[in-house]
Amino acid sequence: MTSETRKPVLTGGCQCGAVRYALYAAPHNVHICHCRMCQKAVGGPFAALAPVKRSDFVWTRGAPAAFASSSLALRNYCRDCGTPLGFRYLDSETISVTLGSLDRPQDARPETQYGVESRVDWLDGVNALPRKVMETEMPAARKAQRVAYQHPDHDTPPDWKPPYTAAR
Ligand SMILES: [Zn+2]
Ligand SMILES: [Zn+2]
């Protein structure tokens, strides 16, 4: 918990719920980055990032781990579940959060793409691929067995515990 009194514009966190954060201003220059470091850091074809001034950003639960991907930059992630959460240049007043870790990823729309020299060429065809809905792809019996361990897409009380702690 923090003594923060400002109202968050955007909130987010990792998959397990150990680390949560809040943005107290709208992000600027939301972008995707295809560079090889971003691909590796998120384990995907590109990183989608929402930058905000560090003075408008607070880690509201837990503390992320950090990996220095170069002498100039740090990448934050949850040490428990591995979710990539943030990126920042050491000398910058800005921190960027990953769009996928936002509670409402659709609330931040990329305006620019960087690192296009590493862009995977199959991205051009993604929009034309067959579209399937996750819930209809899973057989009913399997769906009935499933217990989700992912933190919900909103802030939870300080005493909230991940469901899997009981299952272990
Ligand atoms: Zn986590
Ligand atoms: Zn990058």
Do strands 10-13 and 20-23 pair parallel, antiparallel, or not at all (unpaired)? Answer: antiparallel
CA-to-CA dists, residue 39 to 34, 45, 97, angstroms = 6, 5, 15
Interval 6-47: pLDDT, tens: 999 999 999 999 999 999 999 999 999 999 999 999 999 999
DSSP category for residue 21: E
Find, among 34, 29, 13, the residue nearest to 108 by Cα: 29
The reply to whether the predicted model has a pTM over 0.75 is yes
Which pLDDT does position 2 carry in this prediction? 59
Helix and strand totals (H; E) in the chain: 4, 10
**Distance from C-alpha of 69 to C-alpha of 44, rounded to nearest angstrom:** 16
For residues 65 and 74, give the distance between their C-alpha atoms in angstroms, rounded to a whole number: 10
Q: What value does the mean pLDDT of the chain take?
A: 93
Q: Which among 114, 97, 103 is positioned nearest to 39, based on CA atoms? A: 114
Residue 167 reports pLDDT greater than 70 = no
Give distance in angstroms: CA of 73 to centre of ligand 2: 10
Ligand with minimal distance to 16 CA:
1
Give the distance (Å) from ligand 1 centre to CA of residue 84: 9
Summarize pLDDT for 136-161 with one digit per residue, the tens. Answer: 778 888 888 888 899 999 999 988 88
What's residue 156's pLDDT? 94
Say whether pLDDT at 51 is over 90.
Answer: yes
User: For position 165, what pLDDT does the model report?
Assistant: 59
Ligand that lies nearest to the alpha carbon of residue 89, given by its number in the listed order: 2
Q: What is the per-residue pLDDT for 164? A: 64
Joined tokens for residue 127: 């929009």
Smallest-distance ligand from the CA of 17: 1
Q: Rounded distance, CA 78 to CA 133, Å?
A: 28
Handedness of CA 29, 31, 37, 38 (dihedral sign): positive
Distance 113 CA to ligand 2 centre (A): 9
Each residue's pLDDT tens digit, 68-101: 999 999 999 999 999 999 999 999 999 999 999 9
Q: What is the Å distance from ligand 1's center to 16 Cα? A: 4
